[in-house]
Amino acid sequence: MNSITLFRKFLMVCFVALMLFQVSMSSAQNQDRIIQEIQAYQTSLSNEFSDPDKTILKPEDFATFEGLSFYPIDLSLRVTARIERTPEAIPFLMPTTTDRLPQYVMYGRLFFSLFGQELTLAVYQNTQGHGDPEYANDLFLPFTDWTSGDGAYGGGRYIDLLIPDGDFIVLDFNQSYNPYCAYNERYSCPIPPQENDLPVRIEAGVKAFDHH
């Protein structure tokens, strides 16, 4: 093997190493950006409770409030789900923690993998928001899991989503939050349907609130 061939092989190895380094750097930067977005969301959520003009906390809880508690951010609990739309779904009255019965319709089902399991969640639309451009693309995802009542609020948690253009949607459990009734029983909150009870522990998002 002559020196020119060796030099070309050396250049090729260097090129591949450089490309792998750039891909690794890009992936790390993308992860950092996602983590910063999650942190910003969680900070904003906590700040709403700290604002005396916006808080829903009861006076005795607000007096000692120092911020919401969250599970550590875990990007393995941020997944891409395939959405299967259900245009023929019939609107129904979703039970709540009070006598209120808001009308929802199933928009579709989300299919994704976690912990080596194939899981499914139904995602809904509030029928009252269909005619309002501000809410026309909003999706509502209530769920329970094995942390419900064991680290997370027993009544389940919610995730807000937007209708995707295609057949896939990012489902980030790090952005799951508690219903208002987890903090103040005077609020009326939709109860997650039984079909949205996940047989796994979702240790991401906001934790149960510690009342004082």
pLDDT given for residue 6 in this prediction: 60
Q: Is residue 91 part of a domain?
A: yes
Q: Is residue 135 part of a domain?
A: yes
CB 83 within 8 A of CB 121: no
Q: Is residue 53 part of a domain?
A: no
pTM, two decimals, is 0.84
d(CA 137, CA 107): 11
If one counts the domains in the chain, the total is 1
Instruction: Collect the ranges in the chain with pLDDT lower than 70.
Output: 1-27, 129-132, 212
pLDDT given for residue 62 in this prediction: 95
Q: Is residue 78 part of a domain?
A: yes
Range of the structural domain that residue 189 is part of: 70-196
